[in-house]
Structure 1
Amino acid sequence: MDLEVYGHGGDLLTASARYGVDARQVTDFSANINPLGPPPGLLKRLGEALTGIVHYPDPGHRRFVALLAECHRTEATGIVVGNGAAENMALALLGLAPGKVGIVEPCFSEYRTLAEQFGCLVISVYGEAERQFRAEPDDIERLIRETDLIFIGQPNNPNGVQYTLDELRQFAAAGEQYGTYVVIDEAFIDFIPAEQRCTLLAELTTYPHLILIRSMTKFYAIPGLRLGYALASPEVAGKMRAVQVTWSVNSLALVAGEFCLGVSRDYERATLALVEQQRDWLRRELTELDCLTWPSQANFLLVRLPETWTASRMQEALGRRSVLVRSCAMYAGLTERDMRIAVKEEAACRRLIEEMKEVMGGAGL
């Protein structure tokens, strides 16, 4: 049984069946979720909202949309709320009906999966290790010219790096020149300090073919509720909403979204400080184990194991010890030695390194 049988990390049920471990005892580095957990007070607020499940959720997501518009200083008509960021990707494909879709490998697997599910021809360009797996900007511009819609991760998954603001402007301008929709996936951008984020959010009205997609589930640690949104021109947002299934976003997810937009800045600052500290510590420790890492700005690291190891072998050995990592062997442009690990709290990170030391010292497979 493949651990990534559904193409993603965080599958505790499959891990439990495969490795014979208690899912409740697993330390999960395969899903990139805020190690602090949900913001203080959120679970209490959700408990208070439970009586509301006897009513349908607002199909227009109006309160949440109004808060998002205020937060991002944008028009409410350009916001699409979805059942996670993935639904917004699907809505872009369904509503804009591209024939050819471009992706920049290695990247989030859902770009290709969704595009192919909806009958699109997928065309790729590749980032090289020497450029931290960023593709050459001119190659991306050529891909924009050759396709109807393109997905770009910012920061990209699984390597966690950004394109510069000037490069993003180059891509968006090419989208306008060639009539190609440029979808920038910013699902992990909240894990980057505000002054270091490269985003075209403030320039959205300049580029009618630009779509920004964001997630609430990673930073606020609510993946089980599924909540994300897209920011685009009112015309594009309207096309996306026109193909959305009514009530695809449940009422508890909307309550969580409204709550999270109002949480204290202390939660954000604590998250960023913890992620930066533990990410740097993990990189140092992994280097001591002869692993190669890249300078991620997100809450995860792409790791290349020593030549004597494969990601699947490491995943198996750690899985038997109730520690999950994400194999990246199936990512186009990567190798069988590549895996991705989430950045978690100190105790979990220390456990990962200690387990890897034991496994690589001969105690594992």
Structure 2
Amino acid sequence: MTSLIEVFGHGGDVETAAARFGGNPADFLDFSANINPLGPPREVLEALEQGLHTVLRYPDPGHRAFKMLLSDRLGLTPNYISVGNGAAESMALILLGLAPRRVGTVEPGFSEYSALSRQFGAEVHHVQGREELDWRAEPEDIEKLMEQVDLLFLGQPNNPNGVQYPVDILHRLARKAEITGTILVVDEAFIDFIPVSQRQSLAPRLKEYPQVVIIHSMTKFYAIPGLRLGYALGRPELIHAMTEKQVTWSVNGLALIAGEACLRSGKSFEQETMVLVTHERKRLTEGLKALGCKVTPGEANFILAALPEPWTSASMQAALGERGILIRSCSMYPGLGERHVRFAIKDAEASGRLLGTMGDIIGLKTSTGSEAGGQNDGTAIL
């Protein structure tokens, strides 16, 4: 199916939306990009303002101050850490530095796993998640795939369904990686949105697993996607192979300043985010179900849902886009269907507008939509 606005394969493309639906890119209510609805911490904005003069000099190519803060937080020495221009560069550096010939993915999954792998000359093989497992794949199927590939990407929580694999399964896969010689890349770009007690992660025992690389993003949780900042964790030999392929100064100075401020911002921002995301995910889930959507019970800051018939992702995306609201079509994800869409978690006012507008479009008035914060007047952004 031809995508209306995901022409680059991602959400958050307000420029394409404006060209498609009319209006100012900044005026769209964007549920297609999964960014913290609180915006950046106050400390980050202050640090950026105070650090603007640093654009006159080159950034530190070794990312030393940021790495030391990460090292203190994670309990890992800096040689276990690679800093990148977003999580996407970390993925690219893994592929460039380790040069796998065959890459495995679990579908549905983040499109960059396959796209980057093919871009750098690797064959891509995959296993399919099952709907009855909330689009997880059977561990046995993943293990069989690991026997066939040099490297395997696994989202934790996975995008677009937002689910985690239990930590005992992760340990099982990490041990399998040692047997098969496969590099297991665990993408934790959205794990910060899950309360610490509920996170399923190999990070606390990373040193036990020499074949595991963990990817993190700073841009989603701290709402700095325009600056691009992420990092990867792994044994020093793997990290060295990655950084040898990195373009000097790929991480800009303002991104490093923001990253340092993020790590110094304290617990209150994290706690406020958890409360908001947990509450609004539940509220949006109930509202979507009341509108006839089938919702996948994920844990991240986004929701995968199947629209009620006869609506398709394209028809709903068009109807909402004409009213100034963007959602992410998921019809192009392998294994998902033409009715699958993804919604980012936002604040109560935004969710209320979304649910009210969808209710108007579908022709279904719901108490959830009306209580959630205002009715949409149906005016298109034109």
> Alpha-carbon deviations, 1:214-262, whole Å to 9, x = none?
0000000000000000000000000000000000000000000000001
Distance in 1, Cα, partners of 2:211 & 2:289: 42
Contact kept, 8 Å, 1:311 with 1:336, in 2: the verdict is yes
Residue identity opposite 1:128 in structure 2: R
Superposition deviation, residue 15 in structure 1: 0.4
Contact kept, 8 Å, 1:358 with 1:364, in 2: the verdict is no
- What's 2:199 paired with? 197
Distance in 1, Cα, partners of 2:342 & 2:166: 23
- What's 2:136 paired with? 134
Superposition deviation, residue 37 in structure 1: 0.4
Q: Any unmatched runs of 5+ in structure 2?
A: 365-377
Distance in 2, Cα, partners of 1:100 & 1:208: 19
Distance in 2, Cα, partners of 1:245 & 1:175: 29
- What's 2:98 paired with? 96
Superposition deviation, residue 321 in structure 1: 0.5
- Provide the TM-score with structure 2 as the length reference: 0.94
Alignment of 1:184-263 (within 5 A): 184-263=186-265
- Aligned with residue 81 of structure 1, among 55, 79, 83: 83
Alignment of 1:306-317 (within 5 A): 306-317=308-319
Alignment of 1:171-190 (within 5 A): 171-190=173-192
Residue identity opposite 1:86 in structure 2: A
Superposition deviation, residue 264 in structure 1: 2.1
Distance in 1, Cα, partners of 2:21 & 2:360: 18
- What's 2:10 paired with? 8
Superposition deviation, residue 40 in structure 1: 1.3
Distance in 1, Cα, partners of 2:327 & 2:299: 19
Distance in 1, Cα, partners of 2:25 & 2:363: 26
- Provide the TM-score with structure 1 as the length reference: 0.98
- Give identity over the alignment, percent: 53
Contact kept, 8 Å, 2:323 with 2:379, in 1: the verdict is no
- What's 1:122 paired with? 124
Contact kept, 8 Å, 2:163 with 2:298, in 1: the verdict is yes
> Alpha-carbon deviations, 1:170-196, whole Å to 9, x = none?
111111101000000000000000010
Contact kept, 8 Å, 1:317 with 1:364, in 2: the verdict is no
Superposition deviation, residue 340 in structure 1: 0.3
> Alpha-carbon deviations, 1:303-353, whole Å to 9, x = none?
100121100100000001110000000000100000000000000000000
Residue identity opposite 1:311 in structure 2: S
Distance in 1, Cα, partners of 2:23 & 2:13: 13
Superposition deviation, residue 145 in structure 1: 1.0
Residue identity opposite 1:226 in structure 2: R
Distance in 2, Cα, partners of 1:314 & 1:26: 15
Distance in 1, Cα, partners of 2:237 & 2:94: 12
Contact kept, 8 Å, 2:280 with 2:346, in 1: the verdict is yes
Distance in 1, Cα, partners of 2:51 & 2:264: 16
Contact kept, 8 Å, 2:21 with 2:321, in 1: the verdict is yes
1:325 aligns with 2:327: yes
- What's 2:156 paired with? 154
- What's 1:165 paired with? 167
Contact kept, 8 Å, 2:294 with 2:306, in 1: the verdict is yes
Contact kept, 8 Å, 2:4 with 2:314, in 1: the verdict is no
Distance in 2, Cα, partners of 1:301 & 1:189: 14
> Alpha-carbon deviations, 1:74-108, whole Å to 9, x = none?
12101000000000000000000000000000000
Distance in 2, Cα, partners of 1:171 & 1:73: 23
- What's 2:49 paired with? 47
Superposition deviation, residue 364 in structure 1: 11
Distance in 1, Cα, partners of 2:218 & 2:317: 28
Q: Which of structure 1's runs of 4+ aligned residues deviate more than 4 A?
A: 362-365
Distance in 2, Cα, partners of 1:288 & 1:245: 49
Distance in 1, Cα, partners of 2:178 & 2:124: 20
Distance in 2, Cα, partners of 1:307 & 1:334: 15
Residue identity opposite 1:250 in structure 2: N
- What's 2:266 paired with? 264
- What's 1:303 paired with? 305
Distance in 1, Cα, partners of 2:84 & 2:335: 30
Contact kept, 8 Å, 2:4 with 2:318, in 1: the verdict is no
Superposition deviation, residue 41 in structure 1: 2.6
Superposition deviation, residue 2 in structure 1: 3.2
Distance in 2, Cα, partners of 1:343 & 1:307: 23
Residue identity opposite 1:354 in structure 2: G
- What's 2:375 paired with? none
Q: RMSD over aligned Cα, in angstroms? A: 1.3
Superposition deviation, residue 269 in structure 1: 0.6
> Alpha-carbon deviations, 1:40-74, whole Å to 9, x = none?
13212101111011100000000000110110001
The SS at the match of 1:70 is helix
- What's 2:22 paired with? 20
Judged with a 3 Å threshold, the aligned counterparts in structure 2 of structure 1 residues 82 and 113 are, in CA distance, closer, same or farther, namely same
Distance in 1, Cα, partners of 2:244 & 2:266: 35
Contact kept, 8 Å, 2:106 with 2:154, in 1: the verdict is yes
Contact kept, 8 Å, 1:21 with 1:320, in 2: the verdict is no
